[in-house]
Amino acid sequence: MRIVDLLKKDSIQLNASPKSKSEAIDMLIDLQVKGGNIADREEYKKGILAREEKGSTAVGEGIAIPHAKSEAVKAPSLAAMTVPEGVDYESLDDEPSNLLFMIAAPNDGDVHLEVLSRLMTILMDEDFRAKLLNAGDKNEFLKVIDDMENEKYPDEPRAEAKPTEGYKVLAVTACPTGIAHTLYGGGSS
């Protein structure tokens, strides 16, 4: 599951300036709602706050990744926010967080763990984090992520490639007797 497929432009805010962890959470939740994948804002917020009570989701190096599984989530999604001045997110290293990603996941399955793992893998790269923080607009922010995912996961298909209606040729084969066979997907042959 690619990060760029879960993150909509409406769910990104660059150069934000929340004054507290609480305000940052509210801003990220608003971005999630704006992205259209949250059915009930307050129910989703309860999940985020319950997770934060177990321990801060700020992992250090300026990164915070609040997340929740909730019945209020219609579809897996992400919200992202850059905070140039940083915000005290109660990080493990006591440093302010300036790059925040919020994961919203439905209650069924463990998609949040897959997304969390992928985010942590790509966010370990200091140059990548710097590029995200310096992105001039949302398109550039998404391109930086897309480029990193293409580099880290070059053989992975992109989710945005939609199948076409009707037949899709999967393979054409030939047999020794000279009869050609065509295999089709997505319909009867």
Among 161, 171, 174, 175, the active-site one is 175
Among 2, 8, 51, 67, the active-site one is 67
Active site includes 67?
A: yes
Nearest to 100 by CA among 86, 118, 114, 110: 86
| 3-state DSSP assignment of residue 155 | coil
For residue 8, give Cα distances in angstroms to 33, 37, 40, 118, 135: 11, 10, 19, 17, 15
> Per DSSP, what are the bridge partners of residue 183?
171
H-state helical runs in 36-125 = 41-54, 111-123
* C-alpha to C-alpha distance for 152 and 176, rounded to whole angstroms: 42
* C-alpha to C-alpha distance for 72 and 15, rounded to whole angstroms: 28
Q: Which residues are catalytic?
A: 67, 175
